[in-house]
Amino acid sequence: MSGSKLGKWVVAGVSLAWMTWAGLDQFGNLSDSDIENHSSTSVQERLKDCSGTYKQRYECKENIVIKSTNNTFYAMFGRLAIVVVPPIILATALHMLTRRRSDDDGPNDDLLQEHHRRHHRRRSSGRH
């Protein structure tokens, strides 16, 4: 097994282990306060504090619901980033490392250009 294939398997294994552990840690024990929507207890308590005219109460409640929904979205997005971003960074680093190594091992540009010039001269001179 070549080094790059072994590296890919190691990165895949580490990434899978990370996503399993981080996923369980981030999403396995969510409480009601982590996920707020219009029917959650904490939002309902805040909605009770809205007073004034019908329009004022409506705007107050609408702002509370929108803010709690946005906060939940950002919190869940952050949790998802914790689970997914490190494996992406690790895979990208491995790809860049193996690509750089393969570029260093390959023929240099001068040799390739000389080969193309010779090949082009042979074809254009009429001899095959």
The per-residue pLDDT for range 40-79, each reduced to its tens digit, is: 888 888 999 999 999 999 999 999 999 999 999 999 999 9
Half-sphere exposure of 116 (CA within 13 A, CB side): 7
Model pTM score: 0.65
Q: Which residues of 40-69 are buried (b: 16+ CB within 10 A; e: fewer)?
A: beebeebeeeeeeeeeeeeebbeebbeebe
Predicted confidence at residue 127, as pLDDT, reads 55
Q: Is the Cα torsion angle 54, 57, 62, 65 positive or negative in sign?
A: negative
Please identify which residue in the block is written with the tokens 């906060």.
71
Average pLDDT, the chain: 83
For residue 47, give the H/E element and its range. Answer: helix 41-48
18 pLDDT band, cuts 50/70/90, is very high
